Structure 1
């Protein structure tokens, strides 16, 4: 296989599901120490990152492309004869590019799959993709790594559950069979089906390791396989710990284990929401590669991550470094900063506290200036400054301003920053895994950083903010005049009744829910009816002055 994986026996837990260190190598050209991350893409682009900024983001060595976003064109753009590396602008010597049919972070409800096709979502609605279609798309797009088709939709009966297991195995066999036009099969990663059923997950694992019948072996030549598991380069898992263990218990420990996160939707069960969940999966399952969908979503909501592993010995009190992440009622710090909040309006500190051991190389914390000879100067106003020095980091106040003025560069800076922070976090994890202190450091991290609500009053405070935004948006959609309030802005207003429906839309982490409420309100204020709202505010102020 082009993708190889080697565990470090000295630093890995001897048990099947303990934490482990490894090295993932692609064609001896790209090497990733594990645990590490996969960057998500939308239509082949890492959200908010232009190609030059993508190349400057050092943490991006593996990017994942959902093929479904290209299905609105016939034929899809990635199948027109040019390898997807060249079409999408990725470097073969820097980026491993994987491809799946569905977006693994998309939790929307879809029409059911059948034995003949899998449903996928694109901008023109639902498309049906047959196993043969997928095989041809893979051959023409030429990804480095491909995810085999999986029937992983929610099921309501035992019969349907077993069908999903059988279909996934059949689709894997179809992908492996030779074609009239020989092509090189990329490394195959397999999503493990079975949903919430431990017996179904175990049954699928047994299917992979069962010896193939001689006729099946002949049908798969020139591949030399004794069982289907020989053709699998790694396992993609989801769900709680006990379900993941059921999927992996019978399978090889020498293949990489991958877990993608959802895009922080409230209806995603057992999703990876942050570093706490990542540490649990490293400790309890031995996950090697993590999807970074949640970090990209937080950047969209204006959150700049600011945490490290191992956790600091004590909370920082350095006022020069700017405001530390907010401390919750339990004394634990947030994982970052909600830069939509007005407290950052005059905070001219970098995104990471100066006392942090993290040296963030992102485009926000370590901006790179242009060479003097590349700058076009039109007048003396544009003359070169008398003194030159290192380019200072972009400040929290600056990005706060960009967010409230709807500048796209704000999200570019935050995506790059959040990905680098996760990369530094996993680098710290790898360092601690080489010592006997991993368990203690994990517990200390859990005690230092907040992972969710701890009191009903804290829940109520955040839910009220979300309720204001939700009810205002609904009221305006129905043509009702909304109250004059702004979440995260300095004006105030009355709080509408808090309903159970509003309570359900929360992610479960105060920082995330507050940031999402602020983001939604800023988006609402610039949307349809913004001029009418501004006029109402002006009329109110005029009335008060009279």
Structure 2
């Protein structure tokens, strides 16, 4: 029995809708000492919170839990250490929790924890300036039949199926993505490479589903390995034989039975749900075949599709059509998660295709750029949304404002009037204050911006769910497109004020690297008088050195004369 429950709600619409959009509730249950865990529920269409190394960027644990999201997406390549899984035996345990899990380590016991191997949320056109993981992943060599390559904090490492299974049994997430041979190249891959990717992914999926039930999923692999080992030993042995002995050995080998492998009992992990990667590609036949074959696996609890692969070779409209093509072959009663769909108008199109789960990459990208959300959907507009959108600077749009702009320096109003987020509620933080925080490089700036952008994104999804329930999703989606248009392409170009601030920080850091310890201590403690004295002493020392060099040179010239 699956630990995941996905209930699809009946629509309240009076007439049938042409859209495949639906609302649902995703929940998980995990047995613990004395009963079952109580976790948040994910309302769909909805999001997993995007995380970096297990932490939601810019949010503290308390501000993160103020957000209306039920789950977190963690990329294993960002947190997997070089000595794992070997060092799992050193992890602590308690009488009530015999196995210390990843949720315990990250303190995410109340949230649905979803783990995938890689960070697939980034695409080349939208990747953040701080997304070094995505950059490294795109440069990895192809996977093999024995392992996938991961870009970990300690460098590139190979993850075999055995290691993957050990990680799952120790980490015990609520949902795990099955091992998959995902093609990360942005160029169109040849048909042979795509088919190999699908074959590997399906083979690993079958083995994982067997192991999940406590079976021996690697029996066939071990048989092949033993057969190769035996052939190698015989080859070495024949080198010392005569021709007659080699012929006799060959006859004996032909008459003997093949290597026998005894099944190995394994530890089941039926309290972890499994999501399978559906390989999407520019090749229609391969894309459909992957969807059909993956859908045949009854033990799969949900499906993952990476739209970044499609977006790298097609425009958005073509990519969405290809995505729809794959979704049509997947069972409707199971949830579907899609990577690479971030902007609100793209989310609306994906929801209409039947996609249930996304991530919060969009509010994170806005925060990285110093932007604050103003957009709304349907009836979710706040009293100040229209007014805020009417007074925009040249670097803003009617869907967000850029708080790096100088004109916000004297605006003592909240980001969005009527917004109930941590930053805006009660007018406790103003645009002028956040503008000041950005330009002084205070981390509170991104905490406030992320709190606001995450809150607005959650309100957007809440409004989308309400529109799906009432059958007005198409009407409101058209109105949204007329009001807000299309998200501008994110080029990665920084605001002029941000460039100045970061240049000043770089210069300061370079000075600190070569400064005396007393100067570093003075700057760190805020003792600027001591810093000036230290600078003056340094200047005096340099002047003395120059004077001594001049004197030595003059003395040398006199000796020569």
Query: What TM-score do the two structures reach when normalised by structure 2?
Result: 0.67
1:69 aligns with 2:154: no
The answer to whether the Cα contact below 8 Å between 1:78 and 1:87 also exists between their aligned partners in 2 is: no
Query: Cα 1:448–1:333, aligned 2, differ >3 Å: closer, same or farther?
Result: farther
Task: State the match for 1:10 in structure 2.
Answer: 11
Query: Cα 1:301–1:309, aligned 2, differ >3 Å: closer, same or farther?
Result: same
Question: Which secondary structure does the structure 2 equivalent of 1:228 belong to?
Answer: coil
Task: State the match for 1:119 in structure 2.
Answer: 149
Q: Which of 7, 14, 19 in structure 1 is aligned with 2:21?
A: 19
Report deviation, 1:164.
0.3
1:336 aligns with 2:400: yes
Query: Cα 1:515–1:334, aligned 2, differ >3 Å: closer, same or farther?
Result: farther
Report deviation, 1:61.
1.2
Please give the alpha-carbon distance, in whole angstroms, between the structure 2 residues aligned to 1:349 and 1:278. Answer: 30
1:326 aligns with 2:359: no
Task: State the match for 2:269 in structure 1.
Answer: 184
Task: State the match for 1:507 in structure 2.
Answer: 490
Question: Which secondary structure does the structure 2 equivalent of 1:280 belong to?
Answer: helix
Q: Which of 175, 198, 204 in structure 2 is aligned with 1:145?
A: 175
Structure exhibiting the larger radius of gyration computed from Cα positions: 2
Output the aligned Cα RMSD.
3.0
- The structure with the greater share of residues assigned to helix is 2
Q: Which runs of 5+ in 1 are unaligned?
A: 210-226, 262-271, 367-390, 454-505, 533-546
1:528 aligns with 2:507: yes
Please give the alpha-carbon distance, in whole angstroms, between the structure 1 residues aligned to 2:381 and 2:273. Answer: 43
Please give the alpha-carbon distance, in whole angstroms, between the structure 1 residues aligned to 2:382 and 2:269. Answer: 54
Q: Which of 285, 301, 315 in structure 2 is aligned with 1:199?
A: 285
Q: Which of 390, 400, 404 in structure 1 is aligned with 2:435?
A: 400
The answer to whether the Cα contact below 8 Å between 2:42 and 2:69 also exists between their aligned partners in 1 is: no
Report deviation, 1:111.
1.6
Query: Cα 1:168–1:518, aligned 2, differ >3 Å: closer, same or farther?
Result: farther
> Counterparts of 1:393-472 in structure 2 under 5 Å?
393-452=428-487
Task: State the match for 2:105 in structure 1.
Answer: 87
Task: State the match for 1:257 in structure 2.
Answer: 336
Please give the alpha-carbon distance, in whole angstroms, between the structure 2 residues aligned to 1:42 and 1:78. Answer: 22
1:287 aligns with 2:355: yes
Task: State the match for 2:424 in structure 1.
Answer: 365
The answer to whether the Cα contact below 8 Å between 2:342 and 2:359 also exists between their aligned partners in 1 is: no
Task: State the match for 1:519 in structure 2.
Answer: 498
Question: Which secondary structure does the structure 1 equivalent of 2:104 belong to?
Answer: helix
Please give the alpha-carbon distance, in whole angstroms, between the structure 2 residues aligned to 1:86 and 1:312. Answer: 36
Question: Which secondary structure does the structure 2 equivalent of 1:253 belong to?
Answer: coil
Deviations 1:432-460 (A, max 9, x none): 2222332121111111114245xxxxxxx
Please give the alpha-carbon distance, in whole angstroms, between the structure 2 residues aligned to 1:304 and 1:243. Answer: 32
Query: What TM-score do the two structures reach when normalised by structure 1?
Result: 0.69
Question: Which secondary structure does the structure 2 equivalent of 1:337 belong to?
Answer: strand
Task: State the match for 1:466 in structure 2.
Answer: none
Please give the alpha-carbon distance, in whole angstroms, between the structure 1 residues aligned to 2:201 and 2:500. Answer: 43
Report deviation, 1:296.
1.0
The answer to whether the Cα contact below 8 Å between 1:328 and 1:450 also exists between their aligned partners in 2 is: no
Deviates more, 1:244-253 or 1:343-352: 244-253
Question: Which secondary structure does the structure 1 equivalent of 2:470 belong to?
Answer: coil
The answer to whether the Cα contact below 8 Å between 1:338 and 1:514 also exists between their aligned partners in 2 is: no
Report deviation, 1:315.
11
The answer to whether the Cα contact below 8 Å between 2:342 and 2:361 also exists between their aligned partners in 1 is: no
1:345 aligns with 2:409: yes
Deviates more, 1:37-46 or 1:184-193: 184-193
Query: Cα 1:522–1:195, aligned 2, differ >3 Å: closer, same or farther?
Result: farther
Deviations 1:68-97 (A, max 9, x none): 1123431268883511111001133xx100
Question: Which secondary structure does the structure 1 equivalent of 2:276 belong to?
Answer: strand
The answer to whether the Cα contact below 8 Å between 1:189 and 1:236 also exists between their aligned partners in 2 is: no
Q: Which of 216, 238, 242 in structure 1 is aligned with 2:321?
A: 242
The answer to whether the Cα contact below 8 Å between 2:404 and 2:497 also exists between their aligned partners in 1 is: yes
